[in-house]
Structure 1
Amino acid sequence: MQPSLAHLYSQRAELFGPAIPVPQASQILSLTPSQQQHFLDFYRREKIRDAFTDDIIYQYLQANLHRFNYHSGTFTARETLAQLQGNCLSLAIVTAALTQLTDAEIRYELVDATPVFEQQNSIVERGVHVRSKILRPVKETEQTIYGRSMGTVVDYFPSKDVRFLSNVSGVEFIAMFYNNIAAEHLTRGDFKAAYWYSRKALELAPHYAANINTMAVIYRRAGAADVAETIYRYALTLPTDQLTILKNYRALLALQKRDAEVAELDKKIAKIYDPNPYVWVKLGDEAYRQQQYDEAKSYYQKAVALAPYVQRGYMGLARVWLALENYPKTEKMLRKAMANSYQQKQVQRYQAKLAALEQLQLSRVPSQ
């Protein structure tokens, strides 16, 4: 009989010491008394004017979070309002906390938008993110649009090109908070805290791929790569995001120099569709570092096919063609990367690379 995921992430728990206190969902979504009162005063004032509840919450957010700064950290509702900073999940948590003080309902959606974002200072580009939809109470209006409840979407990254991926249940939404905090602790090397937050996330949403991967990475970095591999292999039998699991399992095998198994996973990954170009850029980078040029080329080509504006895809192809000593194609990819650059410094770097390539080609011309 196959073990459960809960059994797998309970293995070698002694590596992480006794359980640490983890905030409950009610604490994550709670506001201070003064924060509650501030909102309720605004809410009651607007209700006198017969404003819709979802509009009131949105207007309150607009009025009070206009100085809100993006921060990669995930915070509770009270922390986010106090600090006026956080990521998209933090904003959704605040929205949920405010909605709880009214008779409106809230839903969460996982979406993917593809605006032109570039990687800066090693910060990974945004792929998918969560947004909130505040549903208008039925008693305020019986109207629906094409059979769908009316309401207001609150999104940190509003875009016309948003692609809906899936609904997120309230339980999964809270699990995302725990997983984000686990990842933050993992980045700081605090494996103990990372483990207990990740464990809480998995208890709530055991099939959520991001949670599974976080736990596997925690085990690997804590010196239990065998447990990490067992978790990945089990996850591949679950109805979850297979690409997330496969690419991270691949990374584990690559670290262990298990090239034949990496090649097998590459075949599986190549058959999967993912609309996020940066997923393929990252895989291309990994294959390039391992001198697997055919695989790298395939991944970079997927990236630029999905998003022709992604200069890192062209730059990756340029590096591959340079390694293969195909200088005309190297030059072509460098020029495409430069054409999709929006900063003068980047353009200058590509011009320097083109000049260096020209010198390289001249040095390879046999003397007469």
Structure 2
Amino acid sequence: MKRYMSVEIAGQLRAKGPQRGLIDALYDKSQLKLDYDAEITRNASQTFSARAGNCLSLVIMTAAFAKELGLPVRYQRVLVAEAFSRSGDFYFSNSHINLTLVTPAIGDRILNAENAPITIDFLPPEDVVGRRLRVISEETVVAMYMNNRAAESLARGQLSDAYWWARAAIERDPKFLSSYNTLGIIYRDHGNLHEAEHVLHHVLELEPENTQVMSNLALVFNDEGRVAEAYTLTRKLERLQPYPPFHFFNLGMEAMRKGDFKTAKSLFTNEVHRDAYYHEFHFWLAAACLGLGEIDEARAHLKLAMENSLTRKEHALYAAKLDRIKLSGRQ
């Protein structure tokens, strides 16, 4: 990374200034050619080496470059509608952050008017314009990174790694409550039900209507044989969230297994209406359309699945399936 900055883009930084030169070097498609890839959350050097990362990884890498250039940064959480993804039996709540390159100033005076603060975001502009932002600390960003690594380790069945990542996230920023939820899931998966209950209760004391934590605590109660308490919590959860994440998707998958493509299409459409950009909803909606012989509609949703895929592997998979449909359509 240091060589890239001191040698490969040194002239550009001098000619355009550190702020604009850095942005163009990193995000001009003719230069570094970064891709979005959410398969794992990478640190700065890993993101640079892979030329890819999720929004958090790309923010971390950009901040590392900015700091080396002496540019102050401000991290912001973008308050977008809550979205979820899944890996196996685990469901993940997805948040989004961006960062602003802040121009050094003396008092209220910006030292260089040409380098006014610039916000860098990795979502399309139309998805973030007008969204409210919440400034977060670098400690929170680090905790988010560690919590992501914990969740990714958990999804791979690496409970020991997941535990230490989650503990580190809590130590880094005790106010980032998502880490406690992750730790509670890890404890439950490991059979430490008392510890799971303890950390999940901690979150609910601060956020009594946190539906994710309530859902996980209900599972712990069931595991402990405390059926009445689990039932009470589940009923409260149903009032707060009548249709939890992936509710219609799971019903749609049942319909697909029965060969009821019409019902499956309706259910997957309900999920698309709740989250228009989640690739898996579009993929299975395309599959249902194929089952109904609606080739053009299937092709359209498969294209959307490919465009909104979160990893390079998913993109390649959807692209191959889309090519197969195109070929069959020509025959």
The secondary structure found in structure 2 opposite 1:128 is strand
Distance 1:71 1:58 in 2: 21
Cα shift at 1:211: 0.4
Superimposed CA distance per residue, residues 55-85 of structure 1 (whole angstroms, 9 cap, x where no aligned partner): 2221111244414351421122111111223
2:244 matched to which residue of 1? 280
What is residue 234 of structure 1 aligned with on the other side? 202
Q: Does 1:346 align with 2:311?
A: no
Give the aligned partner of residue 160 of structure 1: 126
> Retained in 1: the 8 A contact 2:147–2:179?
yes
CA distances 1:306-362 after superposition (whole Å, capped 9, x unpaired): xxxxxx49949x97xx9xxxxxxx97885475696686433133679xxxxxxxxxx
Question: Which residue identity is paired with 1:36?
Answer: K
1:200 maps onto 2:168 in alignment: yes
Compared CA separation, residues 98 and 281, structure 1 to 2 (3 A): same
Deviation at 1:95, TM superposition (A): 0.6
Q: Is the 8 A contact 1:53 1:137 kept in 2?
A: no
Find the partner of 2:104 among 134, 137, 140: 137
- More moved, 166-175 vs 120-129: 120-129
1:89 has 2:49 as partner: no
Deviation at 1:167, TM superposition (A): 2.4
**1:328-339 alignment to 2 at 5 Å?**
334-335=265-266, 337=268
Residue matched to 1:79: 46
Distance 1:338 1:174, change over 3 A: closer
Which residue does 1:326 correspond to in 2?
none
Counterparts in 2 of 1:228 and 1:119: CA distance versus 1, 3 Å: closer
Taking structure 1 as the reference length, the TM-score comes to 0.60
Q: Which residue identity is paired with 1:151?
A: P
Q: Distance in 2 between matches of 1:117 and 1:153?
A: 25
The 3-state SS of whatever aligns with 2:170 is helix
CA distance in 2, matches of 1:115, 1:200: 25
In structure 2, stretches of 5+ residues that fail to align are 273-281, 295-331
Assess, with a 3 A threshold, how the Cα gap between structure 1 residues 265 and 124 changes in structure 2: closer, same or farther: closer
Change (3 A) 1:120 1:170: closer
Structure having the higher Rg: 1
> What is aligned with 2:18?
53
On the 8 A contact 1:109/1:164 being kept in 2, the answer is: no
Task: Identify the residue that residue 109 of structure 1 maps to in structure 2.
Answer: 76
Amino acid at match of 1:252: V
Partner of 1:13: none
Between 1 and 2, higher relative CO (CA 8 Å, sep ≥ 6) is seen in 1
Q: Distance in 1 between matches of 2:35 and 2:224?
A: 43
Letter in 2 for 1:219: Y
Change (3 A) 1:142 1:95: same
Alignment match, 1:62: 27
1:74 is paired with a residue of what secondary structure? coil
What is the identity, as a one-letter code, of the residue corresponding to 2:76? E
- 3-state DSSP class of the match of 1:208? coil
Distance in 2 between residues matched to 1:116 and 1:212, nearest whole Å? 19
Aligned equivalent of 2:156: 188
Q: 1:268 to 1:93 in 2, by over 3 A?
A: same
Does the Cα contact within 8 Å between 1:113 and 1:127 map onto a contact in 2? no
Residues 72 and 331 (structure 1), Cα distance of their counterparts in 2 relative to 1, 3 Å cut = closer
Q: Secondary structure at the match of 1:73?
A: coil
1:266/1:122 CA distance change after superposition, 3 Å: closer
Return the offset for 1:186.
Answer: 2.0
Once superposed, what is the RMSD of the aligned Cα atoms?
4.0
- Provide the rounded CA distance (Å) in 1 between the counterparts of 2:141 and 2:164: 17
3-state DSSP of counterpart to 1:75: coil
Aligned length: 272
Report if aligned partners of 2:83, 2:93 keep a CA contact under 8 Å in 1.
Answer: no
* Alpha-carbon contact 1:112-1:127 (below 8 Å) kept: no
Q: 2:134 is matched by which residue type in structure 1?
A: S
> Using the alignment, how far apart are the partners of 1:217 and 1:117 within structure 2?
16
**Aligned residues: percent identity?**
23
Structure 1 residues 344 and 214: alpha-carbon distance in aligned structure 2, compared to 1, 3 A threshold:
closer
User: For 1:239 and 1:89, how far apart are their aligned partners in 2?
Assistant: 24
Aligned positions of 1:195-274 closer than 5 A: 195-238=163-206, 242-256=210-224, 258-270=226-238, 272=240
Structure 2 residue matching 1:193: 3-state secondary structure = helix
C-alpha separation in 2, matches of 1:36 and 1:349 = 53
Are the equivalent residues in 2 in contact too, given 1:178–1:198 (CA < 8 A)? yes
Q: Deviations over 1:240-296 (max 9, x none)?
A: 9823322322333345564432333234435658xxx9x8233x3xxxxxxxxxxxx
The 2-side partners of 1:219 and 1:121 are apart by 18
What residue identity is the alignment partner of 2:66?
T
Contact 1:209 1:241 in 2 (8 A): no
Q: What residue identity is the alignment partner of 2:3?
A: Q
Q: What is the one-letter code of the residue matched to 2:288?
A: Q
